[in-house]
Amino acid sequence: MSAEEYHHLLYKKLLEGLSAEEERLLKAWLKESNEHRQTAAEVEAIFRATAVEPPQVDVPTELAAFKKRLHAEAAPQPELRVTHRAPKYWMWAAAASFLLLAGAFFLFQKNQQPAETWVTISSETNQNQLVALPDGSKVWLNSHSTLSFAPSFEGLAERKVHLSGEAFFEVEKDPAHPFVVEAGPCKVRVLGTSFNVRARPDEPTCDVEVRTGRVRVSAQSETAELVAGQRAVFDKPSKKLTASAQDIAQVADWRSTEISFQKIPLREAAQRLSRRFGQKIEVKNPALAECTYSGYFPRADLNAVLTNLQAVFSVSVEKTGEGYLLTGGRCP
Amino acid sequence: MEVRSDEQLLLDRLRQGDEAALDQLFEHYYRYLFKIAYGTLHDTDAAKDCVQEVFLRFWQKRSEIEVKTTLKGYLQRSIVNECLGLLRKRKTYALPETHAALPDPDHSPLQQLESESLSALVQAAIERLPEQCRLIFRLSRTEEMSYREIAEHLDLSPKTVENQIGKALKQLRADLGPWLSILLSAIASPTFLV
């Protein structure tokens, strides 16, 4: 029997028990060496550590949520009828003459979905919100952001949403109906892909980063076509759009709860923290900035990371207007 | 006259559109299905979603449902398929591999050794297993299905399932190396004594 087969036998014993023959085999193997016994103990450690402990659920609450969904799926959508009335009116008007058609068509596009019937979802500060769109696309809203869209994309040439803030999009593929994000002066157009858009009204830039697929970004008169691993930043004051490379693993890393640093210089760690938490984390001492740092935080919390940095590098952490300043310190 | 079992009676009522029967089905099997979904996905919200989908679909197709073995077996297959569907969908969007760094045991401060961090480390190590291996290991760890059932759900042989579990354990041992002594010390009454 191979080593892997013995690993499995150990597991089976812990999981459900062994047959007489299997017990005999295992006993003999364990007797052979201390290394085998050590292996057994380690497999047991892993067995215990990988036990599935599901979080507590309150079944009545889950049942209530389920019934709500069950009945919602069955019910008709009255709003749909309301929103289609307006376009129909303009469609009849468009049939009148060619000139009218052109003018009315423009109005048809504009008034297709009166803004009042649009769905608006906002997230609070320090809150991420997952939103499902009518076509099955998913949007993760970062804190303090707002997303608006029509309750149905039926009959629309484009799947359009408005964004103020930051969100990560996973767009369902539909080449016949482009997906368009309007975020302030920046517009993003895709067919089916995943990407992050950061367009906070109080910031001087819009930032689009692509994780998969292809994306067209346009702002004022500039456009850029991005593929996975690329990023475009639009600077509002200068009205310039610049494209650059972006590490895919870091696109929308604000969505995951964990943060890990793997033997990187402290200045790079500070840069990532600044980006992740939206605050300026600065290392004053240039020598310290080159020190190597490794750390793993299953729940990313800026305070926890700063406390750790304080301990590892013996730095002083000062709160500044824009974030934090690390002074003094030395490599461990 | 054929005596209908409790399960048959429940299915009869479900087929007739008796919503109270659906409530009963839900209350009876929710935790079971949630455990399997959570064990497979390790994501509470996704797990709850999948369980809801299973009940929703069951209800929507109630008139056509054919339970060949047991209701439990039918539901087990449904939840596994639902989870597999979700995993496949996630893969389409090319989720980056979470290369969660193991903290350097020589440099990590003691505070990182809290049990919470350890369980996250273990999960990260499981994430690093090859896809099929990880899936099989997770399904087995739910302790709610046999190798034969796992083999059926994934269309593999039971021997392959066995091999993959052995492979998973070997890699986890190697990956969690420096942390195993800590994990070992947490076992109150070990089966294998060194």
Q: What is the pLDDT of residues A155-197, one digit of tens each?
A: 788 999 999 999 999 888 887 888 999 998 999 998 778 899 9
User: Is B142–A44 a contact, with Cβ atoms under 8 angstroms apart?
Assistant: no
User: Is B192–A30 a contact, with Cβ atoms under 8 angstroms apart?
Assistant: yes
Band of pLDDT at residue B180, cut at 50, 70 and 90: confident
First to last CA, chain B: 61
* 8 Å CB contact between A27 and A37: no
Which residue in A has a C-alpha nearest to residue B54's C-alpha?
A66
User: Is A54–B38 a contact, with Cβ atoms under 8 angstroms apart?
Assistant: yes
A301 touches chain B (CB under 8 A): no
A201 touches chain B (CB under 8 A): no
DSSP state of A279: S
Mean pLDDT of A302-329: 87
| Pairing assessment for the beta strands A292-297 and A259-265 based on DSSP bridges | antiparallel
A-facing residues of B in 20-39 (CB < 8 A) are 23, 26-27, 30-31, 34-35, 38-39
pTM of structure:
0.52
How far is Cα A139 from Cα A126, in angstroms, rounded to an integer? 17
Instruction: Supply the pLDDT for residue A102.
Output: 36
Nearest Cα neighbor of A259 from A305, A290, A292, A303 is: A305
Scan for tokens 């468009």, then name that residue: A94
* 8 Å CB contact between A180 and A199: no
Scan for tokens 């046999």, then name that residue: B146
* 8 Å CB contact between A156 and A170: no
How far is Cα B139 from Cα B120, in angstroms, rounded to an integer? 19
**Considering only CB atoms, which chain A residues are within 8 Å of B112?**
295-296, 308
Instruction: Supply the pLDDT for residue B94.
Output: 38
* 8 Å CB contact between A215 and A196: no
A46 touches chain B (CB under 8 A): yes
Q: Give start and end residues of each alpha helix (H) in B105-146.
A: 115-127, 131-141
Instruction: Supply the pLDDT for residue B109.
Output: 40
Average pLDDT, chain A: 80
Instruction: Supply the pLDDT for residue A111.
Output: 41
A-facing residues of B in 128-167 (CB < 8 A) are 137, 140-143, 162-163, 165-167
User: Is A212–B93 a contact, with Cβ atoms under 8 angstroms apart?
Assistant: yes
Closest chain A C-alpha to B36 CA, distance in angstroms = 9
The per-residue pLDDT for range A202-244, each reduced to its tens digit, is 888 899 998 888 888 998 888 888 888 888 999 888 888 988 8
* 8 Å CB contact between A108 and A91: yes
B180 touches chain A (CB under 8 A): yes
Longest dimension (CA), chain A: 95
**Considering only CB atoms, which chain B residues are within 8 Å of A4?**
163, 166-167, 169-170
Band of pLDDT at residue A33, cut at 50, 70 and 90: very high
How far is Cα A205 from Cα A8, in angstroms, rounded to an integer? 55
DSSP state of B112: G
